[in-house]
Each structure stands twice: as structure tokens, then as C-alpha cells.
Structure 1
Amino acid sequence: MLEGAEISGHPIDGEPSVTHDALDIIPETAGPRVITFKGGVAYSKRTSAGSLAYQVNSHMAAISLIPSRGINLVFGPDELPTIDALPGTVTIHPAGTACRLNWSSPGETVIVSIPLANLQELAHSEASPASPHLRPGVSRQPDLHALHLARLVKEELLRENSANDLYLDSLIALFGIHLLRNYSGTVTKPDTRGRLSALAARRVQDFLDENYSRKLSIAELASFAKLSKGHFTQAFTATFGQSPHQYILNLRLDHAERLLADESMSVAEAAYLSGFSSQSHLTSHMRKSRNKTPSQFRPLRRT
């Protein structure tokens, strides 16, 4: 979550009447930050409750480093449920999106800012001719890869000597690629015709984040968007850049990867808890989608 918005112990409050440079909304007293060629990064700590309303001109991602209770976000007209953030919780703030953040407990966060043009360049490096479209919202599960990158950013920003801009540039680029692969759809037309509304997309996404491991039908998902099955499939694909089947499969594979990091969890158990019918079913999809087997996600054993 975006944190550290305090001056002399008083939170910044108000409506986002103008669009700001991304890191300008974070007071200098919150923690160190560096602006690089690729974007910007900041490390932020907060010690009391507060709120902040803002709108920024770059894409932003905020990664929680410690548990933090009572986080509430409003993106435009859509208010998200209040959550308790865990280490690795990622909040996405797309450029130009009005946002209000409320928090009720201490927290520690790394913020990554990437200008629109730079994210577009990274999208092209992914062989995507379409424009990147980050989805505003909060990850429902801790993102361990984002947490690892955030800790590297924090470590570099807190170095006794000055932070290395080239190193931070590399971390920002890695963050950008990770965001594109996990938190974006693609927009191939300048308008939004044929896509889910922002509210419908959020409802469907929240439902899938909670229920991806069980058997789901297109009819059940379409009911959340109040669309026919055929219209829903087309609108979902246009919104998220992949079919409902592929989207759910990726959620299941991500969960399986996290479970497999636990040495006490068998592959069969990880498969079952992630929504796969069997160990071989999980193995088959991992090979096809991730070019790895379940055993390759196991932690390395020290000899």
C-alpha cells in the first residue's frame, strides 16, 4: 500500500484536483527515493493512521513489506473492501486514475513508478503491439516475486553509500515486466467498446481471486457481469487480454507455485488445493505454460 504520507505526524488529506508526478505525493520525510531513467522508486514508513487523495501521471505499484491492518482504497467511483495487507500485497495505481487511500495502522512499503512511455517500451519488448493497460486494485494473494524485488529496492535505497541508479533502473525494468505479465490486459482499440465495465471487471476479478481453485462455469461468471455467456467471454478476453479459461489456469498455477515452495507440501496436495484434478494434470499444465515441472519450484536443498 502507498504509505508514509505524513508531515509532522499529520496525514495529508483532500481531493485529487490535479495530477501529480508519482513520487511527489510522498513527503521527503517518509523515506529515501530515487528518480532514474526508467522511472522512480521510494521506500516509505508510516507510524499512524491517515488518508491521502491523489492522481498521478505515471503507473504506480506499492508493495507492502510488513503486515498492515485496515487498508481501504477507492478508485474513481469504485470502493474496494477494507483489507489487512500482508508482506507481498501489491496495489496497482494506473496513471490518471483518481484514488483515495485510507489506513489505520503502521506500515512499510516500497513504491515503484513507471512513466507511460517506459511501460509501453517494456510492452514492446514483450513482443506485444498493443498498449499496456494496468488494472487498478489489490492483489488477493501475496506476490512473492514482487516482494523479493521490493526488498532489493529497499536494501539499495538504504545503502550507506549512494544508491546505484543503473541497478535501480534494472529493478524498475524487472518490476515493469512483472506488472505487464501479471497485472495487465492489453488495449488494442482507443475506446472501451466490447470490454467489461470497470465495476464488472472488478467484481469478476475479486470472485475469481477467491474461487479459482473450485470448479467454475462461464454461466456463473457471466452472471456477475449480467451478460450472456458468449458476450461475457468476448468482453472478458478484451478486458484482461486472455480467455477466462487461461486466466483461471494462471491463477491456479501461481497458487501451486506458492504451495510447492513449502517442502512439507506434496505435489499431489499442491495440485488438489490449487484446483487441478491430479498431480499429472498439474505437471502437464506447468510444462505447457511455465516450461517447468513441479519439482523445479521446490526450494533448493543445502548440502
Structure 2
Amino acid sequence: MEISPADVVSRRASTWDGIKVEVVQSVTHDQVEFRFRAPCHLLLVYEEGVRDEGETAVGGLPPSTLRTLRRKLTFVPAGHEYREWQRPRVRSRIICFYFDPAKLPIHSDASPTAASLAPRLFFENNVLWDTAVKLAIAMEDGCESEHYCEALGVVVAHELLRMHVNLQRRRPPARGSLAVWQQRIVAAYIEEHLAEPIPLNVLAKLVHLSPYYFCRAFKQSFGIPPHRYHIKRRIERAKTLLADPASSVTDVALELGFSETSSFSAAFRHTAGTTPSEYRRTLA
């Protein structure tokens, strides 16, 4: 992966058969750019990271300006382009896994092929994140057991493939509704991009449908249109954030992508039937 300027990060790497793991950590708050395109797969695990400004793009997906990157993951299949720039508020720490497609642990017809692995931007997976962080700590502590570190890398590869298998499962849909695999992909994408505008055509493209048919099928599956579902999920996330007394209503509004506290309060009242401040008082 190309990083510029090179002196704003520290890099530490280890390599095993078919797997390379690199811990990339910011050492300043200066703007930094990342670029990658190679015949290997790349998994980025954001252990830490909050940016004042920035954008991340993976070929085939809409770019994201998400600010809080901690616990997020991004997958870049071999041959796809990854670009990111950021001005970090909190020094970022990214664990990068490079996988040789020819040596991935594929043992059955149910496993996805290299060609079928799809890019994913800023998703969450606790097993992948926890295992990656455990491996990074072992590397930095100078773990004497190379076999232990290599085993953790293999676990990450297995979990990555298992995640893609689950996403690709097909089940017959109810008449006029989205298939289960389509529901999972769309719901996960919305959850991963709550703080951003999500155009209807972007969601439709994810599940290979026209915007018109997608909108009808989505409502049939979820009971409400995509836009209302997106707002509802933002407000549900807001309720969780409001439970933290250290976060102000304005902080919560900004984290969820509202440019003004007033627009956040209006959306919250419309969905929850009360204002954010009133809701917080009920938690006391």
C-alpha cells in the first residue's frame, strides 16, 4: 500500500505463507493519503481513528466521508482500487491484512471464489476485529510463537470467507419482497452508513434491481420505505449515544450526520415522539 507522505505514519509488518499483516499507525495529525491496487486482497481493520476531514473510496462503491472509523473494517478484493485521505483528529491505527488469493483457505464448493468476493466499505464484524487486534498486540509484544500469530492470521482469512458465504446465500423471497440475502446486504449497508446520505439508486444497485422495483420490494420486506427506514435506524442509534452523559445533543447530531441540532431534534421528535433532551431525562 502506498502512503504519502511516508513520514506521518509508522509501519510494522510480518509475513507468513500467503498472508502479510501490517500495523500502520499515525505519528502526527497531518493529512495522509493511502492508495492500493494489487493482485492480492486487502482487509483494513480500523483499531482507532477519528478524522476531522477525509474520504474513503473502494472501486464499485460510493465514497464515504464517515468520521468515526474505530471498529470499522473495509475489504478490497484483488484488482480493485482503494483510495483514502484523512486529516486525523485522533491518531489512526489500522491493521492491514494482505491475502494471496491462490492460498486462501477454500475447502468446499460453498466457499466463494476469488472472483465472487465483493468490496465492502466500513462494515462491522466483532470476530474479525477482535482477532485482528489480538494479532497486532502479539506482533508488537514480540510474540515468540510464530505459529500462534500465523494461526490468528488464518482465523481472519476463514472468518472473512465465512462472512462472504453468508452474504451470498440465496433463499426464496416472499412474493414481491427482497430475498433474505438482499435484505441483509441492504440493512448492513444502511447500518454502516447511518451518518451519510444514501441515494435510492445506490441501494438498488447493491442488490441488482431497478430503483422502482427496489423501492416497492423494500417496503414489502421492511414495512416502510428505504428513506424512512434509514431515518428510523439513525434515531435508534441516537438513543444509544444519548445514553452516554459525556456526549451532548450537538455531539450526537454531528456524529449521525445532521448539520444542525435543530434538524436532528425535529427528526428525533417526529420518529420517537419526544425531543432528544426529553428522551435523555427519561434515562436518568
Provide TM-score, normalisation by structure 2. Answer: 0.55
Deviations 1:169-227 (A, max 9, x none): 2111111111112246569xxxxxxxxxxxxx99786346569xxxxxxxxx7698316
The correspondence of residues 262-273 of structure 1 with structure 2, limited to 5 A, is none
Deviations 1:133-173 (A, max 9, x none): 33213234x432222112211111112465x3322221111
Give structure 2 stretches of 5+ with no counterpart.
170-183, 195-202, 223-239, 241-284
Q: For residues 3 and 37 of structure 1, what CA distance do their matches in structure 2 show?
A: 22
Partner residue in 2 for 1:152? 134
Preserved contact between residue 50 and residue 104 of structure 1 (Cα < 8 Å): yes
1:36 counterpart letter in structure 2: W
Q: 1:143 to 1:222 in 2, by over 3 A?
A: closer
Q: For residues 3 and 171 of structure 1, what CA distance do their matches in structure 2 show?
A: 25
The correspondence of residues 93-242 of structure 1 with structure 2, limited to 5 A, is 93-105=76-88, 106-119=91-104, 122-124=105-107, 128=110, 130-132=112-114, 133-140=116-123, 142-160=124-142, 164-183=145-164, 206-207=189-190, 225-226=209-210
Q: 1:202 to 1:32 in 2, by over 3 A?
A: same
Q: For residues 64 and 3 of structure 1, what CA distance do their matches in structure 2 show?
A: 17
**Residue 62 of structure 1: which of 31, 39, 44 is its match?**
44
Give structure 1 stretches of 5+ with no counterpart.
10-28, 188-200, 212-220, 234-243, 246-261, 263-303
Q: 1:116 to 1:31 in 2, by over 3 A?
A: same
Q: How far apart are 1:74 and its partner, in Å?
A: 2.0
Preserved contact between residue 12 and residue 24 of structure 2 (Cα < 8 Å): yes
Preserved contact between residue 42 and residue 76 of structure 2 (Cα < 8 Å): yes
Preserved contact between residue 123 and residue 129 of structure 1 (Cα < 8 Å): yes
Q: For residues 132 and 42 of structure 2, what CA distance do their matches in structure 1 show?
A: 13
2:32 counterpart letter in structure 1: G
Q: 1:156 to 1:209 in 2, by over 3 A?
A: closer
Q: For residues 101 and 223 of structure 1, what CA distance do their matches in structure 2 show?
A: 23
Q: 1:5 to 1:166 in 2, by over 3 A?
A: farther
- The count of residues paired between Structure 1 and Structure 2 equals 192
Q: 1:186 to 1:55 in 2, by over 3 A?
A: same
Partner residue in 2 for 1:283? none
Q: 1:151 to 1:76 in 2, by over 3 A?
A: closer
Preserved contact between residue 44 and residue 75 of structure 2 (Cα < 8 Å): yes
Q: How far apart are 1:35 and its partner, in Å?
A: 0.8
Q: For residues 67 and 117 of structure 1, what CA distance do their matches in structure 2 show?
A: 32
Preserved contact between residue 57 and residue 64 of structure 2 (Cα < 8 Å): no
2:67 counterpart SS class:
strand
1:226 counterpart letter in structure 2: S
2:48 counterpart SS class:
coil
Partner residue in 1 for 2:174? none
**Residue 49 of structure 1: which of 31, 36, 47 is its match?**
31
